[in-house]
Amino acid sequence: MARSRVGGSAAKLSGLLGSVVFTIGKKSDGGYEQYISQYNPEKENLNTKYQALARMIIATIERMVHVLTPVLRASFEGVPVGVTSVNEFAKLNMKSIQDYCRKYWFNAYGWSFPVKGNPLNCWAPLQISYGSFKAPKAWKVEIGSWPTYIRTFVLQLPNQRNRVVDVRRALGISRQGSFNIVCMIGDYQVGKTGACFVKGTINPSANDTEYLDRGDIMSKVSIETRLLEAAGEEQTNIGVNVNYNPNTHRLTIQVIPQFYSGYQWITYDTHLHATIFSDYKKGKWVKSVARLSPHKVFEPDEEFGRAPFEAFTTWDSNYNDESYEEYFGRR
């Protein structure tokens, strides 16, 4: 079993859970670092091509867990909060990564596999939650243009004069419910991937009958932000613009992650996004299914990220640009 050895809400884990090993390392600043690896009961023949592929896949999972742990600790409905939930993420997505490598060996398509010795610039469109809550059909995402691809999350409301209660009904949540936005962000110059978290709720002090176009929208919709992992810059700001347009009946939440370059604020690139809907119903917390999504549907000549083969060349020095089937066979 795995145990927590560092107290508090950000507890780190050590031990074995299923096929995943959790270990703790101490950082130079005195803090602790969480490490994840795959359990391997047979130590011989560690340098085969299959072992190299396994290490690349584990490094992908490890980096995603490191960046998203505060979210993953409580994102799977019916799974205990903490290490069990994090372990569920690892088990759920291990096969997805393997399948992607098999199918798209030479294509990135919004994935960025880790380079050996420097896994920080890594992201993957993986599933980060599941449950019985059905995500609202009225919730959409609009993606800005190159190079930052700013995300604007849109709730299309039904009426000309929308009230607070119409927002709750469109989202399908009670006053205890929330929409939780996760964005993976990066700075190509630094070469590191981070993440931010935005939680939206209906303001407890807002009356259901209040019209959205009267007064400040922020008095009706409450927003909390959290930087999960900086993408290489110490001064980071998670900007959120909330607006309601009475002409189009749209409530919009625009997420703008920025860092300070020393003389100006610069917008991070947003690589991936997802929204987890959460609510307390019939005595338990329910979640929606959510998977991180890249900023567009990619054509073969519009690569974004790092393809499996490109990263794999750093994990196996004997690799010579063969296809997946040529190099690994059909296992």
Q: Cα angle at 56 between 54 and 60, to 5 degrees?
A: 115
Residue with tokens 């060996």: 105
Residue 8 has pLDDT above 60, yes or no: no
51-60, 73-82, 161-170, 290-299: least confidently modelled range: 290-299
216 phi/psi in degrees, rounded to 5 = -80, 125
**Residue 19 domain flag:** yes
Q: How would you class 23 by CB atoms within 10 Å of its CB: exposed for 0-12, middle for 13-18, buried for 19 or more?
A: middle
**Residue 297 domain flag:** no
**Residue 331 domain flag:** no
Q: Are residues 143 and 283 in the same domain?
A: yes
Q: Are residues 6 and 96 in the same domain?
A: yes
3-state secondary structure of 58: helix
3-state secondary structure of 98: helix
CA 205 from centroid of its chain's CA atoms = 31
AA letter at 232:
G
**Residue 326 domain flag:** no
Total domain count for the chain? Answer: 2
**Residue 108 domain flag:** yes
Q: Are residues 274 and 154 in the same domain?
A: yes
Q: What is the pLDDT of residue 3?
A: 44
Question: 34: pLDDT confidence band, cut at 50, 70 and 90?
Answer: low
Residue with the larger pLDDT of the pair 186 and 64: 64
Strand positions, DSSP E, the chain = 2-4, 13-17, 20-26, 32-38, 127-129, 139-143, 151-156, 178-187, 192-202, 221-229, 236-245, 250-260, 265-267, 269-281, 284-287, 290-291, 293-294
Q: Are residues 100 and 140 in the same domain?
A: no
Q: Are residues 105 and 182 in the same domain?
A: no
pLDDT digits (tens, 9 = 90+) for 269-303: 999 999 999 999 999 999 999 999 997 644 443 45
1-5, 30-34, 64-68, 292-296: least confidently modelled range: 1-5
CA 141 from centroid of its chain's CA atoms = 15
3-state secondary structure of 189: coil
AA letter at 29:
D
**Residue 325 domain flag:** no
- Judge contact between 90 and 249, C-beta under 8 A: no
**Residue 69 domain flag:** yes
Q: What is the pTM of this model?
A: 0.86
Q: What is the residue range of 262's domain?
A: 131-288
pLDDT digits (tens, 9 = 90+) for 104-129: 999 888 899 999 998 888 999 999 99
**Residue 301 domain flag:** no
